[in-house]
Amino acid sequence: MHVLKDLIQLDRKADAPVYLQITNAIIHHIRRGTLRRGLKLPGSREMAEHLGIHRKTMLAAYDELMAQGWIEMIPRKGTFVVRDLPDIKPKKIKPGEEIGQYPGKTFFHIDEKKVIPFPVGQFRDPNLLAINDGFPDTRLAPTELFLREFRTVARSRGFKKYYQYGTPKGPEYLRETLAPFLSDTRGLPITASNVMITKGAQMGIYLTTQLLIKPGDAVIVGEPSYFAATLTFRQAGATILRVPVDDQGIDVDAIETLCKKKKVKLIYVIPHHHHPTTVTLTPERRIRLLDLAARYRFAIIEDDYDYDFHYASNPILPMASLDQHGNVIYIGTLSKTLAPSVRVGFIIAPENFIDAVAHLRRSMDWQGDSMMEAAIAALYHNGVMGRHIKKVVKLYHERRDHFAALLKDQLHDRITFKVPDGGMSIWGTFHDVDLKKMSAHAAKKGLLIGDGSLYNTHTKNYNALRLGFASLQLKEQDRAVEILRESM
């Protein structure tokens, strides 16, 4: 009996596919010398019968070994271990010789001002209890339906097209699916030519900034505003001008005052549920802002990261739906609808801008995940996403109300907040509470929560937090608020 037959032990319960178990076992024994160079191996049919597996599985193992250069197949002779093995021989270390370590730091300087800090506790074990910035509950995602569509794409007759390079605008099938969906739900009079698919909203903000902003250009943001967007503008060399945000949204009077004094290139607004304060920009201010954009010829980035999640009434349509002059670059994401790890977003803009930003994208990235984007397109086309959105909006509405009641009942003397009309978090201002200490104490008790530092500026400490409720079930909210109270 051939020696190879005694060397392979299969674990039917292992996660690794059987053909890879065989491949790795043969490589192991070639390296050890058990299977010597030039040794003839049993045929695939003989080995398959011995191991009790399908012959195709054994052929897959042999194919993988040939691809890696461990074995060779000689016509009419058989399969052999190669004489020139592919292993790279490491340098032998002499006795007493120290093994060098990879450098822990670079020799050159890194500009720390360009580094986005990670929010505390938001990228750790998802099984831990956390009051995050306002993330969806990934347990509610239509995972099985998504996987079904993904498998359908992978098994389709033309699946190989998804392995090829595509357009940096994003696949036509997703753009043609999103365009009517956004037109129906958000009043955007667009076609696929007005849509570019990105890897999330942040990529859309970055590309738009790189295309529009030169060093020294003035960019207006709210005070406070989304920290990652502000940093993106600063990285491009922009001069950041801040205007107040009140309970009606960004202060348009203050914007007009700045425009009269200085040439403004871009204004960044989050009108639907402002980040971080969650307030909604009133219709009157939206119309005035569009008028100012036409008069002073500045561009508007409208960041609409969670439009679908509104509870009070029908949401106000985006500013982009009223834009008559091509001033508004509308940016959104599907990550809040599915899951944060699904990095699919979009830019909506006039066709010439989409063409330009697509060319710019090629300097940093070519395209997204074509197969995943095809599966997502199918979910929208089949109505799955529409039904999913209705389901989670109802559930998040219940969670918002429960969470607000908990805060009012248990923390009324320590926190001030307004119940938001939509979104996934509550903006709470704390009184006589050291948020850094509270965050540290809560972590020791099993609750991850930020310390508010991301929302502060050089001139102002808000002592406030976005308190995400959407990802927490009601009992989890009860426990989280209990720990929060104990940690103050």
pLDDT score for 263: 96
**Residue 69 and residue 260: Cα distance in Å, rounded?**
70
Angle between helix 384-410 and helix 474-487 axes, rounded to 10 deg: 40
Helices (H), 280-432: 283-296, 351-361, 370-381, 384-410
Distance CA 227, CA 456 (A): 9
Enter the tokens of residue 44. 């695939």
Architecture of domain 143-381: 3-Layer(aba) Sandwich (3.40)
Using the 8-state DSSP alphabet, how is residue 310 labeled? B
User: Picking from 114-123, 189-198, 381-390, which range would have the lowest pLDDT averaged per residue?
Assistant: 114-123
* Rounded average pLDDT over 287-307: 94
Mean pLDDT value of segment 12-19: 85
At 139, the amino acid letter reads R
Q: How confident is the model at residue 342 (pLDDT cuts 50, 70, 90)?
A: confident
CB atoms within 10 A of CB 139: 10
114-135+387-487, what's its fold?
Aspartate Aminotransferase, domain 1 (3.90.1150)
Sign of CA dihedral 314, 315, 319, 321: negative
Mean pLDDT of all residues in 159-173: 79
For residue 157, the model assigns a pLDDT of 75
Q: What is the mean pLDDT of residues 146-150?
A: 83
- CATH 3.90.1150.10 in the chain is located at 114-135+387-487
* pLDDT for the residue numbered 372: 81
**8 Å CB contact between 326 and 309:** no
- State how far the Cα of 454 lies from the Cα of 461, in Å rounded to an integer: 10
Average pLDDT over residues 167-172: 87
Domain 4-81, CATH: 1.10.10.10
Burial class (CB within 10 angstroms; exposed 0-12, middle 13-18, buried 19+) of 488? middle
pLDDT of residue 165: 74
Task: List strands edge to edge, sheet with 40-41.
Answer: 40-41, 78-81, 71-74
In the predicted structure, residue 203 carries a pLDDT above the cut 90: yes
Query: Sign of dihedral through CA atoms 140, 144, 148, 153?
Result: positive
- Rounded to whole angstroms, the Cα distance separating 403 from 425 reads 10
The pLDDT of residue 406 is 96
**209-251 pLDDT, tens per residue?**
999 999 999 999 999 999 889 989 998 999 999 999 999 999 9
CA diameter of the chain: 91
Structure token pair of residue 408: 């009012």
CA dist 423 and 306 (Å) reads: 6
* Residue 456 CA: distances (Å) to CA of 227, 346, 451, 453: 9, 28, 10, 5
Mean pLDDT in residue range 421-432:
94
Looking only at the bridges linking them, the beta strands covering 264-269 and 218-223 are parallel
pLDDT tops 80 at residue 361: yes
pLDDT at 121: 47
Cβ 448 vs Cβ 130: under 8 Å: yes
Q: What is the CA radius of gyration of the chain?
A: 28
Residue 482's pLDDT is 95
Give the count of alpha carbons within 13 A of 4, CB side only. 25
Fill in the DSSP letter of residue 112.
G
Token pair for 172? 């036509």
Tokens standing for residue 136 = 């969806």
- Lowest mean pLDDT segment, chosen from 141-150, 254-263, 328-337, 471-480: 141-150
**Which residues of the chain are in CATH 3.40.640.10 domains?**
143-381
* Alpha carbon distance 376, 141 (integer Å): 12
**What are the residues whose beta carbons fall under 8 Å from the beta carbon of 87, sequence distance 6 or more?**
31
Which part of the chain has CATH 1.10.10.10? 4-81
Q: How far apart are CA 194 and CA 208, in angstroms?
A: 14
Q: Write the burial class of residue 122 (CB in 10 Å: 0-12 exposed, 13-18 middle, 19+ buried).
A: middle
Q: Please check the confidence at residue 335 and state whether its pLDDT lies above 90.
A: no
Q: Are 266 and 217 in contact (CB under 8 A)?
A: yes
User: Residue 316's closest CA among 217, 186, 198, 486?
Assistant: 186
Can you give the pLDDT at residue 109?
A: 83
